[in-house]
Amino acid sequence: MIKGKVYKFGDNINTDDIYPGRYLSITTDRQEMARHCFELAYPDFLKSAKPGDIIVAGKNFGCGSSREQAATCLKYFGISVVVAESFARIFYRNAINLGLPILIAPEITKKVEHKDTLEIDLKKGIIKNMRTNEIIEVIPLPSFILSILNEGGLVPYLRKKLGITDKEGNR
């Protein structure tokens, strides 16, 4: 079960909004990526969002570039889950592969306000709005995708699948 405060966005939040192109030269330092989430397009985010927060957004969240930094920066900032009415496909894949939980919830922006508190059961696809007590049921993620998320992303998933046990790549 995930519980957190909502930081709310509208439709078509693109990856340039989430992670500005000028910081793409940061390729390996994930903590540094986290310091630039929404920096130019929504400067309030870095001032008021907190680790553990839940992002709620409208349609086509994460559209635009394939930059993985857009999902990485949110994960390392500490965002616990992104709930959107729909996702652009590369962001959707990146989030799963990096172990950043996401959920598709049609019309969520009509049912949830900025700073509401939500309780989310990813496996069952249940969202509870603690302010209104409304329970929102959505289609849970496919089991194949949940299995990657449960391992913490594609890297640990593949290590397990390939039977790699140590840093040197031994099986």
Partner 1 sequence: MTIAEKILAKASGRPRVVPNEIVMAKVDVAMSHENADVVLKSFLEIGVKKVWDPDKIVILFDHRVPAESEKTAATHKRIREFVKEQGIKHFYDLKEGICHQILPEFGHCRPGEVLVGTDSHTTTHGAFGTFATGIGGTEMAGVWATGELWFKVPETFKMVIKGNFRKFVSAKDLILYIIGEIGADGADYKSVEFCGPTIEEISISSRMVLTNLAMEMGAKNAFVLPDKKTIEFIKQRTDKKFEVILPDKDAEYLKTYEFDVSDLKPQIACPHSVDNVKPVKEVAGLKVNQVLIGSCTNGRLEDLKVAAEILDGKVVHPETRLLIIPASRRVYIEALKAGYIEIFLKAGALVLNPGCGPCLGAHQGLLAPGEVCLSTTNRNFKGRMGSPESFIYLASPATAAFTAIKGEITEPE
Residues that bind partner 1 (CB under 8 A): 12, 14, 16-17, 20-22, 24-28, 40-41, 59-60, 63-69, 71, 86, 88-90, 93-94, 97-98, 142, 144, 153-155, 158-159, 162, 164, 166-169
Sequence-distant (6+) residues with CB within 8 A of 27 are none
Q: What is the β-pairing status of strands 135-137 and 2-8?
A: unpaired
- Shortest approach of partner 1 to residue 133 CB, angstroms? 32
In the three-class reduction of DSSP (H, G, I as helix; E, B as strand; rest coil), residue 2 is classed as strand
Q: Residues 58, 85: contact at Cβ < 8 Å?
A: yes
Our CB check for partner 1 shows the closer of 94 and 109 to be 94
- Shortest approach of partner 1 to residue 22 CB, angstroms? 5
Q: Residue 156 belongs to what H/E stretch?
A: helix 154-162
Our CB check for partner 1 shows the closer of 77 and 92 to be 92
- Shortest approach of partner 1 to residue 117 CB, angstroms? 29
- Shortest approach of partner 1 to residue 114 CB, angstroms? 20
Our CB check for partner 1 shows the closer of 5 and 46 to be 46
* Separation CA 169–CA 104 (nearest Å): 36
* Separation CA 108–CA 56 (nearest Å): 7
